[in-house]
Chain A
Amino acid sequence: MAQNLAWGRLFQWHQPVTSLSWRTSTLPALAEDQHSYLPYGLGRSYGDSCLNKDGVLVSSKQLTRFIHFDSKTGLLEVEAGVTLKQILEFAVPRGWFLPVTPGTKNVTYGGAVANDVHGKNHHSAGTFGCHTPWFYLLRSDGQYLKCSTLDNVDLYKATIGGLGLTGFITAGAIQLKKIRTPWMDVDSFRYKNFDEFCELSKRAADEYEYTVAWVDALAKGDKLGQGLFLAANHRDLPHSSGQDPYANQAPKLSIPVEFPNIALNPLSIKAFNFLYLNQQRTPYKQSVQHYNPYFYPLDGIGTWNKIYGRRGFYQYQCAVPSEPEIMREIMTKIAHSDGGSFLTVLKEFGDIQSPGMLSFPMEGFTFALDFPNKGGETLKLLNELDALVRDAKGRVYPAKDARMSAESFATFYPNWEHFSQFIDPAFSSSFWRRVTGTSA
């Protein structure tokens, strides 16, 4: 049976999966035709970083237990398969929130650590790994290690952003942060071009915990980079909407446009994006939104990744230093290519350092967009983008990648060889073999 175990739906080989039922379980022996293990969460990585051809995936789907919560400090300890969704359902009614969240809550704790995920508050909070004081790592030699800023420090740093290669995280801690309501105060600014974005981004950084821009990727010339800049803070005062203030459910119709599932195709997504950008006619708008539609607008649409059809799609996310010229060059290339989706997400990362050795975020601009898989044409464009990013001393995000070359990877992550010494000898991934030019 064809399996699509990664979000981009590009790879369909037969991939054996096993799971650990208890955090005290040991790794099952490798079958004769399997060369290695790779941990697996919910497969929300787009490319082959969560896949292991001819190896076995070790799923955390049964490791969904909570272990301890300290209601005074907000320190939560969970098993690795607990999802961010489960954490929110537990924490929000108790007045706590995730310190960092990606754009979907359908990811596991283990996956969030292994990709050292970031969110719209990178400039004020850093990455997920900045808030994970410790975790437990199961190695293939049977060792069960506590990794923290004090114990097995190197392994701790290698595992944060370590792409599942250093061992299987069975459980760990996350420092939650206090909130007063589940609502967000959202200010949105319509801006005209990339210069205005830079200006807004600079000014908003101190005042807002969360910032991100939705950019019209097709705009060119003096409109290059135009879009909607969204800046938000958690709301302190209750919102008078008659809603239960701690409800986890999003209020109905909070997403500007909702599609019936059947209407989802690349065209309708373009229309959706167009409406999303154009829903706001005024240059500035204030609103109060529930945290669900604010952080997770796409989760409401379920498996939207299927709209790109059987050939799947690529997502491209890079980070480059804060020099507007570099970003302009990259955006111009995309605007003239017509290969990408209409909408780009653009953000400025801050300078908070993650403990992770191989973490993706770096100070500067980051942007992400989808590319339907049109074969060679798409790959050519993405390779050209890689070249620009290499010259700029930037990086491409492994969690989203399915095609970068070994040469690019080595330029993006010059310390990968140092990192390699912490890899568990019985762990590997299709991504890792590709970007290091090794075979199993």
Chain B
Amino acid sequence: MTTETTTSAKLHQKSCVVFGATSAIAQAVASEHAKHGYALALVGRNQEKLEQIKSHLVTLGASQVSIHVQDLNAFDKHEELLQGILAEIGQYDRVLIAQGTLPEQRDIEKNYALTEQCIKDNALNTISLATSIANAMEAQKAGKIAIISSVAGDRGRQSNYIYGACKAMVTTFAAGLRNRLQASNVHVITIKPGFVDTPMTAHIPKGALWAQPEDVAKDIMSAFEKDKNIVYTPWFWRYIMLIIQHVPEFIFKKLKL
């Protein structure tokens, strides 16, 4: 649902479309783009929050900021939403898909309806959006799309395997997309954050491994600039996950992780 549209489509302006724009990580990424004068299209489900982010980005120097209020679980609205955004920016340049939820594993593991909701929140809405955008980018023969997955997708653990399974699906989907679109000059980036201090994790006690959204945003910016493929952020998670992935299953299944 476009609450604000421009009269003329700006064809040559650098743009970044942000889905789940109210996410703390997404806000930090949008801020970096605003400082570089990008035009930004923000998609989220809360108008008031989006307005607060908009004034921030405009003040920082974004050449233009539009707001699109949309619950991204309304899959049947995706086409209309994307049409509206495209009408505004002309063609896709950079896209970030950031929305997600972190339900309590204990609450959802005994309830399929809640499990399905988690899959919609963390995998299906991303895949629906990425499908349309990827096809449009393929036709453009240009564009970069960064998708936030998670280290949680690298191996299933009893403490969050449903969320983890969603992220695993996103990771595998993104890998295939990257492979397919490579020939069309379209670049797909998989972002795998570790622990990040955001509203999503407000209830979890913080320790030394925790990163700030600004740190993660810097890595995402550099991934866009240097066409990186898979980004663990902060970097040391690549090695933590390397170890975790190599623990033999007969041992792993006994661990309290």
Binding partners A and B: yes
Among residues of A, the one whose C-beta sits closest to the C-beta of B214 is: A64
Decide yes or no whether A72 CB sits under 8 A from chain B.
Answer: no
The B contact surface, by secondary structure, is helix
Chain A residues contacting B27 (CB-CB under 8 Å) are 65
- A24, A61, A69: the one within 8 Å of B52 (CB): A24
Interface string of A11-40 (1 = CB under 8 A from B): 000000011011110000000000000000
- B53, B55, B199: the one within 8 Å of A68 (CB): B55
Say yes or no: A22 contacts B60, CB within 8 Å. no
Decide yes or no whether B24 CB sits under 8 A from chain A.
Answer: yes
CA separation between A90 and B48, bound complex, in Å?
24
Decide yes or no whether A272 CB sits under 8 A from chain B.
Answer: no
| CB contact under 8 A between A67 and B202, given known A22-B49, A24-B48, A62-B24 | no
Chain A residues contacting B48 (CB-CB under 8 Å) are 22, 24
Say yes or no: B59 contacts A68, CB within 8 Å. yes
Query: Could you say which of B48, B56, B197 has the most chain A C-beta atoms within 10 Å of its C-beta?
Result: B56
A22 CB to nearest chain B CB (Å): 6
Chain A residues contacting B49 (CB-CB under 8 Å) are 22
- B52, B59, B197, B205: the one within 8 Å of A22 (CB): B52
Interface string of B222-254 (1 = CB under 8 A from A): 000000000000000000000000000000000
Chain B residues contacting A23 (CB-CB under 8 Å) are 52
Chain B residues contacting A90 (CB-CB under 8 Å) are 60
| CB contact under 8 A between A66 and B202, given known A1-B207, A24-B52 | no
CA separation between A66 and B27, bound complex, in Å?
12
Chain A residues contacting B197 (CB-CB under 8 Å) are 61
Add 20 more A-B contacts to A66-B55, A66-B59 (CB < 8 A): A1-B205, A1-B207, A18-B202, A21-B24, A23-B52, A24-B48, A24-B52, A61-B197, A62-B24, A65-B27, A65-B52, A65-B53, A65-B56, A66-B56, A66-B60, A67-B56, A67-B59, A68-B59, A69-B59, A90-B60
B251 CB to nearest chain A CB (Å): 28
Chain A residues contacting B24 (CB-CB under 8 Å) are 21, 62
B95 CB to nearest chain A CB (Å): 23
Interface string of B9-35 (1 = CB under 8 A from A): 000000000000000100100000000
CA separation between A67 and B52, bound complex, in Å?
7
Among residues of B, the one whose C-beta sits closest to the C-beta of A3 is: B206
Say yes or no: B202 contacts A65, CB within 8 Å. no
CA separation between A178 and B97, bound complex, in Å?
40
Chain A residues contacting B53 (CB-CB under 8 Å) are 65
Query: Could you say which of B52, B197, B199, B207 has the most chain A C-beta atoms within 10 Å of its C-beta?
Result: B52
B64 CB to nearest chain A CB (Å): 17
The 8 closest A-B pairs by CB, nearest first: A65-B56, A66-B59, A21-B199, A66-B56, A69-B59, A67-B55, A68-B59, A22-B49
| CB contact under 8 A between A62 and B199, given known A1-B207, A24-B48, A24-B52 | yes
A205 CB to nearest chain B CB (Å): 36
Interface string of B184-201 (1 = CB under 8 A from A): 000000000000010100
Among residues of A, the one whose C-beta sits closest to the C-beta of B212 is: A61
- 13 A-B interface contacts by CB (under 8 A): A1-B207, A21-B24, A22-B52, A61-B197, A62-B24, A62-B199, A65-B52, A66-B55, A67-B55, A67-B59, A68-B59, A69-B59, A90-B60
B196 CB to nearest chain A CB (Å): 12
CA separation between A23 and B49, bound complex, in Å?
9
Chain B residues contacting A19 (CB-CB under 8 Å) are 202
Q: How many residues of B contact A (CB 8 A)?
A: 15
Among residues of A, the one whose C-beta sits closest to the C-beta of B49 is: A22
CA separation between A62 and B25, bound complex, in Å?
11
CA separation between A198 and B96, bound complex, in Å?
60
CA separation between A79 and B196, bound complex, in Å?
21
Chain B residues contacting A61 (CB-CB under 8 Å) are 197
CA separation between A19 and B24, bound complex, in Å?
13
CA separation between A67 and B53, bound complex, in Å?
9
Chain B residues 169-191 with CB under 8 Å of chain A are none
B46 CB to nearest chain A CB (Å): 9
Chain A residues contacting B199 (CB-CB under 8 Å) are 21, 62
Interface string of A69-97 (1 = CB under 8 A from B): 10000000000000000000010000000
A229 CB to nearest chain B CB (Å): 39
B136 CB to nearest chain A CB (Å): 31
Among residues of A, the one whose C-beta sits closest to the C-beta of B55 is: A67
CA separation between A291 and B61, bound complex, in Å?
23
Interface string of B204-228 (1 = CB under 8 A from A): 0101000000000000000000000
CA separation between A65 and B207, bound complex, in Å?
25
Chain B residues contacting A65 (CB-CB under 8 Å) are 27, 52-53, 55-56
Query: Could you say which of A22, A23, A68 has the most chain B C-beta atoms within 10 Å of its C-beta?
Result: A22
Chain B residues contacting A24 (CB-CB under 8 Å) are 48, 52
A86 CB to nearest chain B CB (Å): 10
B71 CB to nearest chain A CB (Å): 18
A24 CB to nearest chain B CB (Å): 6
Among residues of A, the one whose C-beta sits closest to the C-beta of B197 is: A61
Chain A residues contacting B205 (CB-CB under 8 Å) are 1
Chain B residues 55-91 with CB under 8 Å of chain A are 55-56, 59-60
CA separation between A219 and B95, bound complex, in Å?
63
Among residues of B, the one whose C-beta sits closest to the C-beta of A23 is: B52
CA separation between A65 and B56, bound complex, in Å?
5
A93 CB to nearest chain B CB (Å): 10
CA separation between A90 and B57, bound complex, in Å?
12
Among residues of B, the one whose C-beta sits closest to the C-beta of A89 is: B35
Among residues of A, the one whose C-beta sits closest to the C-beta of B198 is: A62
CA separation between A67 and B59, bound complex, in Å?
7
CA separation between A62 and B55, bound complex, in Å?
16
CA separation between A1 and B205, bound complex, in Å?
10
Query: Could you say which of A65, A67, A90 has the most chain B C-beta atoms within 10 Å of its C-beta?
Result: A65
Chain B residues contacting A22 (CB-CB under 8 Å) are 48-49, 52
A409 CB to nearest chain B CB (Å): 34
Among residues of A, the one whose C-beta sits closest to the C-beta of B205 is: A1
B49 CB to nearest chain A CB (Å): 6
Interface string of B103-144 (1 = CB under 8 A from A): 000000000000000000000000000000000000000000
